[in-house]
A and B are shown apart, each in its own frame.
Chain A
């Protein structure tokens, strides 16, 4: 990826992945890799941060004779995700207005 992903964006994407269904670290990384070049090690601090911010909570579930830590979105995380999405829409619009020359057209039309 030519564009760097900042921490806020990463947080938002992780929240969105977990919102779909409860999942575990390795799977979250695999999802993220569809869009961003991150390694398994990058995710841990993100998860930790979200956990401390009480946006995610964890529970252990047995899988093949061991425990796997599942992440679950909290209601606070849900709210936060909506804010992130709204923010992203605005952000995207602003970027697009310049990068895709969309805003210019709008401005011209206005």
Chain B
């Protein structure tokens, strides 16, 4: 019998004997101290030298004026006596394991999510920012090209009245430029922008999914 088992059984017996909790704690403090003073590696030996916890309990109870017929008084005790041990070590499997684990898991996930936010928050911000920057850049480039084309066209029209040859050339160049830009960009724009949108959405969904999945699995 090790220290923990001895003390647990002793506590059970004293509780059964109806001793008040202060006295029980006082007694357990004493017996725990005995184990500690006897030496760390001598738990079994010490427990053996003290006799059964039931006998010890009877003596303590008698001293505090509680009459107990004998260690037999704890008769229903010895069979359940080993039980408190496993229960003490891992109470979860004994009491509503699924409920306990669900809330534990969920709580843990939230807890981890919260305490690791200095890591994931910057990463999330960076990912979203980069995607956003790409979209903005793409739009700007396209806009710039279109603006250039339109500018050339408008410049050409304006120049047409002063220097018709240059004006025509600018106008033509602007139309060609705009046409090429639209031609090249159309399919790219059509695909790229929704794709980037989907990308951001995907990242958000993935992060949400981390939590939602946890909830689903356990719920």
Interface residues of A (CB under 8 A from B): 24-27, 29, 39-42, 44-45, 47-49, 66, 68-69
Contact = CB atoms under 8 A, between A and B. Distances in A.
A29 B27 CA distance: 16
B29 A69 contact: yes
Contact of B33 (A39, A45, A48, A69): A69
A45 B59 contact: yes
A14 to B, nearest CB: 13
Interface of B: 26-27, 29-31, 33-34, 36-38, 46, 49-51, 55-56, 59-60, 62-64
Contact of B38 (A40, A47, A48): A40
Nearest to B39: A26
A44 B62 CA distance: 12
B49 A40 contact: yes
Nearest to A7: B63
Where chain A touches its partner, the secondary structure class is helix
Return the 9 tightest CB-CB contacts between A and B, nearest first.
A26-B37, A45-B63, A41-B50, A41-B56, A40-B34, A45-B59, A44-B30, A39-B49, A39-B50
A104 B63 CA distance: 40
A48 B63 CA distance: 8
Given A48-B63, A49-B63, A39 B30 contact: no
Given A25-B34, A40-B31, A44-B27, 18 more contacts: A24-B37, A25-B30, A26-B38, A27-B37, A29-B34, A39-B51, A40-B49, A41-B31, A41-B34, A41-B50, A41-B51, A41-B56, A41-B59, A42-B59, A45-B59, A45-B62, A45-B63, A49-B63
Contacts of B63: 45, 48-49
